[in-house]
Structures are given as structure tokens and as C-alpha cells.
């Protein structure tokens, strides 16, 4: 299946990728998966779905629950794991 080459659609996907710190291909895949879940095939509805995903990404940045913050939270050591050694 060839990729959609609509400029407005690609721009929205690029903004999603920028907000989430992911690749353009991954952002387009997210939109395609969301469209597939809803059974959408037309371009106009895909643009609407992409705009919804972009708004969600922007709101998560405002609430500081973006991917960078999530990774930082996952990398913090718990109190009981601070002195754990991986190697002898």
C-alpha cells in the first residue's frame, strides 16, 4: 500500500512526531492504527483523527506526561533497589 502524500496530512503527522519525539513513520503508523480501529478509509476523516491525536499529544506536553517524563520516571531507582548490583 502506498503512503498518503497529502501535504496537510503529512504536516499534522510531522507535528505529532515532534510533540511525541518519535519518527514521522511512527506518527503516521499511530494515525493509521487509530483509523483502522474506527474503520476509516477516507483521507478527510484520517486528517480529523490525526488532529485529535495531535491535540492529545499537545495536552500531554502541557501536563508534563510526555514520553521524556515517562522515561525519566521509569529510570528512577526505587529506594529498595538503590544498592542493587548488576555485576559482581
Domain extents for the chain? 7-76
**Model-level pTM?**
0.67
> Has residue 27 got a pLDDT over 90?
yes
DSSP H or E stretch at residue 72? helix 67-75
Name, of 19-23, 34-38, 75-79, the range with top average pLDDT: 34-38
Please report the pLDDT score of residue 34 as a whole number.
Answer: 94
Please report the pLDDT score of residue 1 as a whole number.
Answer: 44
pLDDT in tens, 49-84: 999 999 998 887 776 666 667 777 777 766 666 666
Buried b (16+ CB within 10 A) or exposed e, 19-58: bbeeeeeebbebbbeebeeeebeeeeebbebbbebbeebe
Amino acid at each position: 500500500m502506498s503512503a498518503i502524500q497529502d501535504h496537510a496530512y503529512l504536516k499534522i503527522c510531522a507535528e505529532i512526531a515532534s510533540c511525541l519525539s518519535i519518527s514521522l513513520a511512527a506518527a503516521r503508523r499511530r494515525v493509521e492504527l487509530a483509523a483502522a480501529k474506527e474503520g476509516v478509509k477516507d483521507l478527510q476523516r484520517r486528517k480529523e483523527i490525526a488532529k485529535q491525536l495531535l491535540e492529545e499529544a499537545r495536552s500531554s506536553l502541557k501536563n508534563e506526561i510526555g514520553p521524556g517524563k515517562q522515561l525519566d520516571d521509569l529510570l528512577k531507582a526505587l529506594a529498595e533497589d538503590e544498592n542493587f548490583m548488576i555485576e559482581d
